[in-house]
Structure 1
Amino acid sequence: MSEHDHEHSHAHPHTHQSHEAIIKRLKRADGHLRGIITMIEEGRECVDIAQQLHAVEKAICQAKRTLIQDHIDHCLEDTVSALGNGERAPLEAFKQITKYL
């Protein structure tokens, strides 16, 4: 991939307003996960580890939900207008993302 192509792919980054908040959440979850790894390495009680894993799993799931719901809110208009023009691709993309809910 040439530099030109690389620049072009970032000319219109796909971002929503919630992305910043999602990044913050995921960075917090990342730190949390590192803490859990340390707990395992230190031989902490399995029940404590499981509790922490459950908490980080919930945090990641919430971030995923927020991302998908935000995508649906913002991209529904594009999908509707594309369908009006007889395009099917946006509808397929829409169906694909809802699988991850």
Structure 2
Amino acid sequence: MVGNDQAIAPMLNRLRRAHGQLVGVIAMIEQGRDCKEVVTQFAAVSRALDRAGFEIVATGLRECLTDEGAGGSESMTEAELEKLFLALA
């Protein structure tokens, strides 16, 4: 798991909001709404997911660097951390 309860709650809230926004975008497409409106809302969902992803990776990086990760898993190498971070690019 990434982060403690204090770190996880805001991430989950952000992801739930993005989920709601995505449901809205799907409904807009099904209703045949204007392309500009759909793209604007889709961009908002994309940004929300990007921010949540960066937040998750940042929390994970802090845990890996301070050896606070749960489950006694091996710490990641610098190359593995970089690859994880760049996966969001």
**When the two structures are superposed, what TM-score results if normalisation uses the length of structure 2?**
0.77
Residues 2 and 59 in structure 2, CA contact (< 8 A), matched pair in contact too = no
- Report percent identity of matched pairs: 29
Structure 2: gaps (5+ residues): 68-73
Q: Distance in 2 between matches of 1:89 and 1:95?
A: 13
Distance 1:74 1:33 in 2: 30
Residue 96 (structure 1) shift: 3.2
Given that 2:61 and 2:81 are in contact with CA atoms closer than 8 Å, whether structure 1 keeps it comes out as: yes
Q: Give the equivalent residue in structure 1 for 2:55.
A: 66
Aligned to 2:70: none
Unaligned runs of 5+ in 1: 1-13, 79-87
Taking only aligned residues, the RMSD between alpha carbons, in angstroms, comes to 1.9
Q: Which has the larger radius of gyration?
A: 1
Residue 2 of structure 2 contacts residue 60 of structure 2 at CA under 8 Å; is this kept in 1?
no
